[in-house]
Amino acid sequence: MVETTNQALRPLASLIGKSEKAQRKLAPGTWQHAMLRDNLKALRLAVALLDPAAEKPGDLAPADLQDALRAFESMIDKTAKVQPKFAPGTSQHTLLRNRLQALRLAAATIQAALPKE
């Protein structure tokens, strides 16, 4: 599990960097800017939960976890739809495969952090 977690951190960190760069190019107040803001918040939360070296967040509100889970479900859906457009073995296909695995692990980690009802 530790190796899987470590492998997931790199694609998540890459996605954070790319999302931050894209967000800087968008006007605040647009839906794209808001979507990236929400995605970045979810990604940072997941990294904090997954990275053994990261400072663990304190009490996480169930609403924040649910918001993060929704953001991950959206990112997973979009990534899964795009991946088949690239031939297996290409760098784009490999990037999306690794990203999809990382997103799914992050979503599962957030799901596990949700309070049990």
**Which residue type does 83 have?**
Q
pLDDT of residue 58: 67
Cα–Cα nearest to 34, from 49, 19, 46, 45: 19
Count other Cβ atoms within 10 Å, centred on residue 8: 23
Segment 73-97, tens digit of pLDDT: 999 999 999 999 999 999 999 999 9
C-alpha gyration radius of the chain? 14
Mean pLDDT of 5-11: 88
> Using one digit for the tens of pLDDT, what is the confidence trace for 14-71?
999 999 999 999 999 999 999 999 999 999 999 999 987 776 666 788 899 999 999 9
| Architecture, CATH, for domain 2-113 | Up-down Bundle (1.20)
